[in-house]
Amino acid sequence: MPKKRVMSIFLILSLVVISSVLIMGCTKKEDTSGQITLNVLNYMDMTAANSASEITRVWEAFERANPDIKIVREDLFNEPFHQKTEAYAASGNMPDVMYAWPSGRSTTLHAQRLLKDLGPLVQKDGLSSSYGALALDPSQQGGGYLGILTQGTTATNAFYINMEVLNDCGLQPARTYSELKSQVSTLRAKGYDTILMANAETWVMQSCLFSLVAGRFCGDNWEQKIHAGQAKFTDPDFIAALEFIKTMYDDGVLSRTTLTTGYGDVVGQFATNQGAYYIDGDWRVGAFITDSSTGQALISPAKQRDIRITVFPDIDVPGVKFNKSNSAVLGTGWGMSASIPSGSPKEDAAWRLVKWLTSREVLTFRVETGGVPTPSRTDINFGSLSIEPMQQAIAALGGEYNKSTVVIDAVFEGPVYEPLNDGLQAMGMGRQTPQQVANVVQAAFDSWKAGQ
């Protein structure tokens, strides 16, 4: 046999042996570890107070307690999170575990059944007694099944009042819209805005103010009447609700500068006394309290005593059906990809993580750090918690209203509420009238309905 051929055969055999050893080594290492990787899409504002402690108290604690599970976490916030969620849904390649809304911004996940039904797992583990009945009601979620375990309930309108600013102007908190309007000139003379909002992001107006206003003008179950074809977005009461938002801009109660104010900027404006009032959701209290990792707060606990929290004042204009109401919805939570095989080790790992993320330990932490004002669990001892004045105020928000109405992006699909979001902003800029916005939204609803 030629020498070159002998050398070639030897080289090939050597490579085969080396490759076999490497493959066996890798296989052995994988089998030895037995670790399951979970890809997680997480909603987190990394600039918010206590975000660093969340990584330690929630995520690292879980991995320490579950060494057989490795978490690959993707942290996103605000619109980038929702955009990534839709991209995952379009690709059909969902994360194993993900943060989600019970409907609204996560409608795609529920409607396409991209989330696993957690009902059988809840029943198997006997968790019903640990959560409030609303949290486990499948009818409260977009797909009609338990797609997520929710962390709590959410009031989307919180009317934050800065008493230091009002006292400087010799004013008291406005009880009605008329009183609010009358304060504009006094506040302006002292260099203050009346109401601060982050209306650069179009969802804020719809979720944190207009949903409340629509409920007060349109009445109970108004959204059900539209779905049933018994009412329209072009009816006088809905147009009156839109007109009221325009009136707020025209009266200067709501400055048009809010249309360029970002969600990350407005909290600093309120904390530095640039306005007397601030409109956001109950969840935003977490931006102001002490960050346990730094010991710093955007508003110090001492100064928090000058902050009151209630709901938007009584709207004393013709057409309002009731006041003392708020817009509220089942809160956000955690779900699992429907593609995970039932009974598989990955399902067990993902379910352990979902249970942990909605556990008494984690939700107690979120209450303490302002992340969840009203938790879904029934076994949290509030009396044992040391919470700051603004947290105490937000915990009492439920006593400030006696009726709840829907949040629009929780009861209508994206093709319907997105034109409304855009229309509310265009109306504030003077580019569309209330009637035009109503026409666009009704046309969008009719188009969506025809496609069902």
Q: Which two tokens stand for residue 73?
A: 């976490």
Query: According to the model, what pLDDT value does residue 21 have?
Result: 38
Q: Report whether pLDDT(320) > 90.
A: yes
Rounded Cα distance, 44 and 41, in Å: 10
Query: According to the model, what pLDDT value does residue 47 have?
Result: 79
Give the CA distances from residue 117 to residues 86, 101, 122, 317, in Å, rounded to whole numbers and listed in that order: 20, 15, 10, 45
- pLDDT tens column, 330-343: 999 999 999 999 99
Q: Report whether pLDDT(4) > 80.
A: no
Query: According to the model, what pLDDT value does residue 33 have?
Result: 63
Query: According to the model, what pLDDT value does residue 301 have?
Result: 97
- pLDDT tens column, 65-98: 999 999 999 999 999 999 999 999 999 999 999 9
Q: What is the pTM of this model?
A: 0.79
| Nearest C-alpha neighbor of 83 from the set 222, 237, 228, 201 | 201
Sorted by where each starts, the structural domains of the chain and their CATH numbers stand as 36-150+332-375 (3.40.190.10), 155-326+392-450 (3.40.190.10)
Give the CA distances from residue 168 to residues 137, 177, 222, 279, in Å, rounded to whole numbers and listed in that order: 48, 21, 41, 20
DSSP per residue, 359-400: SHHHHHHHHHTTS-SEESBS---GGG----HHHHHHHTGGGG
What is the pLDDT confidence band of residue 430, given thresholds at 50, 70 and 90? very high
- pLDDT tens column, 5-35: 444 444 444 444 444 433 344 443 443 468 9
Query: According to the model, what pLDDT value does residue 12 have?
Result: 43
- pLDDT tens column, 255-268: 999 999 999 999 99
120-129, 296-305, 396-405, range with the lowest pLDDT: 396-405
Residues 88 and 81 sit within 8 Å (Cβ to Cβ): no
- pLDDT tens column, 162-210: 999 999 999 999 999 999 999 999 999 999 999 999 999 999 999 999 9
Phi, psi angles (nearest 5°) of residue 308 = -105, 155
Q: Report whether pLDDT(286) > 80.
A: yes
Q: Report whether pLDDT(360) > 90.
A: yes
Instruction: Count each helix (H run) and each strand (E run) in the chain, helices first.
Output: 20, 15
Rounded Cα distance, 211 and 207, in Å: 6
The residue type found at 311 is V
Q: How buried is residue 303: exposed, middle or buried, by Cβ count under 10 Å (0-12/13-18/19+)?
A: middle
Give the CA distances from residue 9 to residues 3, 17, 23, in Å, rounded to whole numbers and listed in that order: 10, 12, 21
